[in-house]
Amino acid sequence: DRLSNELRDDFQIEILDSPEAVAERVDMVFIEALDGRSHLDYVKRTAPFKRPTFIDKPLAASVADAREIFRIAEEGGFPVMSCSSLRYADNLVEALGEENSGRILSCYAFGPISEDATHPWFFQYGIHTFEIVMAVMGPGCVEAQALKNDEQDVVALRWENGRVATMQGMQVGHKAFGVTIHREKGFRSLDLRMNDRPWYASMLDAIMKSLPHGKACIDPAETIEIIRMLEASAESRRTGRAVKI
């Protein structure tokens, strides 16, 4: 295809015929397939080579697959990391470091979403906004309640310590990502497009500082919780009821 030809012809990247052949030749594996349902199979095929592995979002299309991926990695003794590049947006990282403004009480995050036949609702593109929420609030989400119409979805998320967050997925309109962070001493609203550096470049920095050294900078339990948040939100969207996480 066009991308393969470009990699081979313009960048002299060797194109191999299987995930196993790639894993044998490299120091670190990147699984970039768009369909999250395929990621567990790729991990099974590359795990014997014990390479540090980055899996592009979504890690998996179910909590069961996510747990199995991390089980295989733990058993094989190699780190696995998966995330959205949005959590590494420079202005978000800077805002999260403003601890002199007090602890974070809540947040409101928004971004585009789209229906995809290969994934449960929210998994393909909504995961970006859920990752922003997790980066701000941290783990401990216990309940999701979704509201929807033909143009947008809104998910209210509750944490075990009583804090709340709101995720808004835009089906129509602009394609921007943003977040408002509320702290004890004030708030800050961020347009995540307003960065000089691409999100993916900042994420690659984080990957290279961790995976080659045998660790992931995001706890597997946190990644599994995000997948569960996505599942619970999709279930709430279908049923109209709050769903425990």
Closest CA to 83 of 66, 71, 105: 66
**How high is the pLDDT of residue 97?**
94
d(CA 146, CA 157): 9
b/e burial code for range 43-60 (CB count within 10 A of at least 16 → b) = bebbbebebbbbbbbbbb
**How high is the pLDDT of residue 82?**
96
The stretches in the chain having pLDDT less than 50 are: none
Residue 134 token pair: 């997790």
Q: How far is CA 60 from CA 4, 26, 53, in A?
A: 24, 23, 14
Please report how the helices 220-239 and 63-76 are oriented relative to each other, as an axis angle in degrees rounded to 10: 170
pTM: 0.91
What is the distance in angstroms between the CA of the first residue and the CA of the last residue of the chain? Answer: 41
Residue 105 burial by Cβ neighbours in a 10 Å radius (0-12, 13-18, 19+) = middle
**How high is the pLDDT of residue 182?**
97
Closest CA to 122 of 171, 181, 164: 171
